[in-house]
Structure 1
């Protein structure tokens, strides 16, 4: 009798044999189960090889197929409102044909992604920017491509002359590479046809900054020496060969601001050449300054700002389409550099 009034059972030899037998049975069952699993795995591997897969990774879990075409357009619209770029919308269109294909029920026969791209453009672009965005033409230009273009509007995509390059591969910035020879960079993909457009140029040195007619057929590779739009040594015949009907009757084909002293130049590439003339509000800029340019095609004016301070209207009588451009040169101790970006008009 043990303390506490209980009985303590003593293990016999027979009891030990029972424990050993039970452990052996458990191990045997485990081995059988492992063999069964290995057999199933081998069958899955062979099935995967027959179906063209050489991977040894076994499928995990259950594959659930969701019919995305049954998702309501309102839900898709809510989802896409969180997508910020044209690439993200493109990926959504590739996810399911119901998102990317035209919807017969739509009044304009657009896809859900196209409609979201259109709304994104309309919500982000100013009235002036809307005026320079390509017109939507079904089958050739899509709202998705327009959104992509809108996201990359301001950059120097055309370089003219052999003494200029993009700074560190960045197309929003250019720098001069040789001394005493001007070269020019144009933001040719951003054509301003109507409305108001404001851009900011962060400068080093004393570049020329201005507007020029769009010249899409000009062969940039043909000009490997000094190049500028305004001056007796420019290429007016080549420029006028690019004339189109939308230039209208306007005779200001290029106009720029010289950062050194603030003087203005303009030309019609014919009998009118005005270089380095004063205007009301003339004032120069220097390295580190930001030059703002406001082109208002409703009023036909080009207004200049210095570090968000309005200097005044530099040129009026403007009409027809224009692009932003800069002309640069490398000086003895430094090189002109300019970066461009869309800006918000100062108060």
Structure 2
């Protein structure tokens, strides 16, 4: 021991250094305990993974587990094609699948291992269409033809199944460029919009029309040979214009069948039904369930070609059958007028039939 200048006793040499070392040892022990804890968690995960591997092998599943490799690239050839297809199916839309095809040739190029020589994107598009579209909708979609029609284009068409792609007359236009919505323009004259690419020839089809004003909504025969440009300087209607009837009859094909109902409309203004065989017209203003509609209403139309009926709904409430005995192909159409106090407008979309009436589709 050594005396200090003030007469006290100094600490033994090295005691301060010992205290520092003991503090460092304590810290190392704490860090070691944390590492052991982490190691225990990793060991538990490895044990669980091993159990899952054994269970999968026992169930006849994965026999060879891919090693975990941290890399910036993925070797897709090492992944099961069905797994990649399943993951890609969550993209859903044609635009997203097109982006995927353009992003990587492994997705967009045809796969030699595929019996149909489709690309991954094509297979996902095919599965999406076939799982979502009804038999009736499939009948109205383009057919897959290798080299000319792709499943991606069919999916895109399915996503835009209902739209007004044909405008007849000079007093109608798409609203704000939206091909699912039309509005009347100009004078107090009638013009017509047709969903011409959606031809209904079998099964049940349900569509909803959001209306403004007092439009006419109904069905008419598909007439792809009708020159729409020839009617751009005048009014146009499938019913009531005798001068146009010869043009319509000239478009007749054998698949129109035996029904002489070539156009049928529901008058939203007074609830009457109007039909024609393109010789004469017939008006039924007393059909059971007749009811007028107002701006803002949603008019539902169910064409059931298995039963040959056309049924009308108002705001998801069934009004009744306005015509039976229908057969052959039809397209949805609306006829609009620009009136002094209100302009007719209509938008179309696929609808879900009210629960109480879904059996009508069978």
Q: TM-score, normalised by structure 2?
A: 0.74
Question: Is 1:299 the equivalent of 2:307?
Answer: yes
| 1:122 CA displacement | 2.0
Question: Is 1:275 the equivalent of 2:283?
Answer: yes
Aligned to 1:37: none
Aligned to 1:174: 182
Aligned to 1:121: 129
Question: Is 1:230 the equivalent of 2:239?
Answer: yes
Question: Is 1:285 the equivalent of 2:293?
Answer: yes
SS at match of 1:312: strand
> Which residue, 230, 238, 259 being the options, matches 2:268?
259
**Distance in 1 between residues matched to 2:149 and 2:256, nearest whole Å:** 23
Question: Is 1:148 the equivalent of 2:182?
Answer: no
> Which residue, 243, 250, 257 being the options, matches 2:259?
250
Aligned to 1:85: 93
**Distance in 2 between residues matched to 1:115 and 1:244, nearest whole Å:** 35
Of the structure 1 ranges 111-120 and 202-211, higher mean CA displacement relative to structure 2 is found in 111-120
Aligned to 1:214: 222
Q: TM-score, normalised by structure 1?
A: 0.77
**Distance in 2 between residues matched to 1:88 and 1:284, nearest whole Å:** 42
What is the root-mean-square deviation in Å for CA atoms of aligned residues? 2.4
Residues 161 and 225 of structure 1 are in contact (CA less than 8 Å); yes or no, is this contact kept in structure 2?
Answer: yes
CA shift in 2, pair 1:108/1:346, >3 Å: same
How many residue pairs match? The answer is 291
Question: Is 1:342 the equivalent of 2:357?
Answer: no
Q: CA-to-partner distance for each residue in 1:251-304, whole Å, 9 max, x for gaps?
A: 2111110011111111122x3421354322111111111110001111111100
Q: CA-to-partner distance for each residue in 1:213-266, whole Å, 9 max, x for gaps?
A: 111122222112110001143512222222233222332111110011111111
Q: CA-to-partner distance for each residue in 1:175-195, whole Å, 9 max, x for gaps?
A: 111232000011112111211
SS at match of 2:86: helix
CA shift in 2, pair 1:234/1:276, >3 Å: farther
Question: Is 1:308 the equivalent of 2:316?
Answer: yes
Which runs of 5 or more structure 2 residues have no equivalent in the other structure? 12-70, 356-362
**Distance in 2 between residues matched to 1:168 and 1:287, nearest whole Å:** 19
Which runs of 5 or more structure 1 residues have no equivalent in the other structure? 6-62
